[in-house]
Homo-oligomer: A and B are copies of this chain.
């Protein structure tokens, strides 16, 4: 077959399997889903269109789809959730990326608290939520346009903040470049950054951190 499926990964990491759906042909995509499905893994598909989901659904009836985040899920073994990750957004339009992060974290066994639309252009909205945010082991902060949210949060807590720039905006936003640069240049301590719109990556690494906080290096 064309694709060397990475069956050891799940064993190694104790997590389920992940498929990046965007840009894959239907034929390839279905084959990969079927292949994983034959084994006893939970499977997470990211950046899937509704059309792709319907094709997958035809052959794997238990597949579920969340249109907002573009996530396909096949859950065979029930997932126990531990600890806590806070997923925050600057605006309403950042929610799809935030949901990709939140649902990824949940899929891999983290409890998630969602705190949306608390961007820094109205700082009182954020300040009123700080107690909830402080309880989490790790914060995922998602923001487009100017992208200042993660830095402001990181300045108020002593837990790691995973910053996710989004492509929300126009003009000199340059498809998310502006928020990416803002986050990389943050003067706050305790912040690191993933790719533009990469909710999945943020959900994954925050889960790794959350696990360490709950279980230590087991």
Contact = CB atoms under 8 A, between A and B. Distances in A.
A8 interface: yes
Nearest to A9: B122
B170 A177 contact: no
Given A168-B23, A172-B185, A196-B171, A123 B146 contact: no
A152 B3 contact: no
A118 B4 contact: yes
A188 interface: yes
A119 interface: yes
A191 interface: yes
Given A118-B4, A148-B151, A217-B213, A91 B187 contact: yes
A120 B152 contact: yes
A184 B192 contact: no
A196 B183 CA distance: 12
A145 B187 contact: yes
B216 A216 contact: yes
Interface in A176-211: 176-198, 201-202, 204-205, 208-209
Given A6-B125, A137-B212, A173 B151 contact: no
A117 interface: yes
A28 interface: yes
Interface string A117-139: 11111111100000000000110
Interface stretch (A48-56, A58-66, A159-167): A159-167
Given A23-B93, A148-B146, A156-B123, A117 B181 contact: no
16 contacts: A3-B117, A4-B118, A4-B125, A12-B158, A22-B170, A121-B151, A137-B212, A137-B217, A146-B148, A148-B152, A159-B212, A160-B208, A167-B171, A172-B176, A192-B205, A212-B213
What 10 pairs between A and B have smallest CB-CB spacing? A171-B196, A148-B148, A178-B181, A212-B213, A121-B188, A192-B192, A121-B155, A13-B158, A171-B195, A121-B187
